């Protein structure tokens, strides 16, 4: 289960997800496949955020996050790793994305101190239920500071379980 929310504070929009797994009656913990995609998604999110600093590009952030997913054996996700936020949930600035024609030059723009980003890699795996696939989608809000990125909300660190 992904809980996606946004809010507006003093004219600035947010975009954030929190992740939970709903245990089936017979389960005391998630299946190994869920644990693995969660761990990979968490590592991917952290790898992307670790690249954020003044002067970094959206391409560099995307590559760091996307490489974790593909090196773990999953298909790359069909969207950018993230985006700026601002007056709209999806801001007009830098895109944290791969070199796909749709993203143009916005992936090579340089980040600046106080820019705010939503970082959101995802992983999809096949499933016999859930309409044929299960998708886990991370999304953290960060602000660029001189020495890197700072989370604006409490970051996801473990998979929440719901009974």
CATH of the domain at 155: 3.90.230.10
Predicted local distance difference test score (pLDDT) of residue 47: 98
Model pTM above 0.75: yes
- Residue 128's domain comprises 2-162
CA gap 150, 50 in Å, rounded: 10
Structural domains counted in the chain = 1
pLDDT averaged per 10 residues, the chain (length 163) = 57 68 90 94 97 98 98 95 71 86 94 92 83 83 95 90 90
The structure tokens 């590559």 sit at 63
Predicted local distance difference test score (pLDDT) of residue 126: 85
CA gap 8, 144 in Å, rounded: 19
């Amino acid at each position: 289960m992904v809980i996606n929310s946004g809010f507006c504070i003093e004219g600035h929009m947010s975009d954030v997800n929190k992740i939970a797994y709903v245990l089936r009656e017979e389960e005391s913990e998630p299946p190994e496949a869920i644990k693995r995609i969660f761990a990979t998604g968490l590592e991917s999110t952290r790898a992307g955020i670790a690249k954020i600093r003044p002067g970094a590009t959206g391409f560099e952030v995307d590559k760091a996050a996307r490489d974790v997913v593909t090196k773990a054996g999953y298909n790359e996700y069909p969207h950018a790793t993230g985006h700026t936020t601002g007056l709209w949930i999806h801001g007009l600035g830098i895109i944290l994305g791969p070199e796909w024609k749709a993203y143009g030059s916005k992936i090579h723009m340089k980040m600046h101190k106080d820019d705010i980003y939503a970082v959101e890699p995802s992983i999809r795996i096949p499933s016999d239920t859930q309409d044929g696939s299960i998708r886990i989608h991370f999304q953290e809000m960060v602000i660029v500071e001189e020495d890197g990125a700072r989370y604006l909300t409490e970051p996801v660190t473990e998979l929440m379980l719901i009974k």
